[in-house]
Structure 1
């Protein structure tokens, strides 16, 4: 198959990782241009059993506003 077929239509690409990054990265592809997003939804009932653990982890990292954001939901 001609190279332009792969470059422009078939979906493969010849842009490969350099400087040894092929150990953990693949070649350039359409997914390289996507921005993934996550959506997480918890209600108070779901958050309550894990709230204290989250507060403790946040406080241990010095992220007191994060801990406070959880605590405020139960005031």
Structure 2
């Protein structure tokens, strides 16, 4: 059964930002879909199970942004 979680990401300002976050978060184990919006600052992640918040934070930081 898939789960959906919503995260707030600071610093996204354009479509390129969204793509960077989607790419990095999408590489996490169990992630099946990622939707990012620079307009709302939100990232919605669909996964096979619960995600480790530290892993999500690390992926977002790898993309050049931060949670919160």
Normalising by structure 1, what TM-score? 0.26
Higher relative contact order (CA 8 A, sep 6+): 2
Question: Greater strand share, 1 or 2?
Answer: 2
Normalising by structure 2, what TM-score? 0.27
Question: Greater helix share, 1 or 2?
Answer: 1
